[in-house]
């Protein structure tokens, strides 16, 4: 499944909590094409957007903290946006991990069924060869 859908594989790895350098190195030694790698890596834009939202909010909170009323509103907004960013980041990571694991299990089942069919085929060939002798 991942061999035919490299974009999904790269995107899921980018959205999980795996160190970026490790994923890049690992993907570099696989058979994933450069185009699949580049398109799949663009999924990180989702995470970057959340981090930018958080950074802009913190910056705006510091700029708006001149009077007491504005400071309270800014702190409330800041806390809500930080909580939102954390929750969305966790949800995306969990979602990506679940999809990755389910696809991996599908691949393993396919591999096992192929191995069983090859074993059965080799046994039948061995039986045919022994009958001919």
The answer to whether residues 38 and 25 touch, using CB atoms and an 8 Å cutoff, is: no
Model pTM? 0.55
Average pLDDT, the chain: 80
Q: For tokens 């970026």, what's the residue?
A: 20
Q: pLDDT value at position 80?
A: 84
Which portions of the chain are predicted below pLDDT 70? 1-4, 64-67, 132-133
Q: pLDDT value at position 26?
A: 84
Question: Of 131, 66, 34, 1, whose CA–CA distance to 74 is shortest?
Answer: 66
Q: pLDDT value at position 1?
A: 44
The answer to whether residues 17 and 93 touch, using CB atoms and an 8 Å cutoff, is: yes
Q: pLDDT value at position 133?
A: 59
Angle (deg, nearest 10), helices 6-15 and 34-41: 40
Q: pLDDT value at position 18?
A: 79
């Amino acid at each position: 499944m991942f061999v035919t859908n490299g974009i999904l594989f790269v995107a899921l790895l980018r959205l999980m909590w795996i160190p970026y350098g490790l994923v890049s190195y690992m993907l570099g030694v696989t058979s994933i094409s450069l185009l699949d790698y580049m398109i799949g890596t663009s999924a990180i834009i989702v995470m970057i957007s959340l981090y930018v939202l958080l950074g802009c909010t913190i910056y705006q909170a510091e700029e708006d903290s001149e009077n007491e009323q504005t400071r309270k509103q800014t702190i409330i907004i800041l806390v809500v946006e930080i909580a939102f960013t954390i929750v969305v980041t966790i949800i995306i990571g969990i979602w990506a991990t679940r999809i990755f694991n389910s696809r991996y299990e599908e691949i393993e089942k396919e591999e096992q069924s192929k191995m069983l069919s090859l074993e059965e085929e080799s046994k039948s060939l061995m039986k045919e060869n022994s009958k001919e002798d």
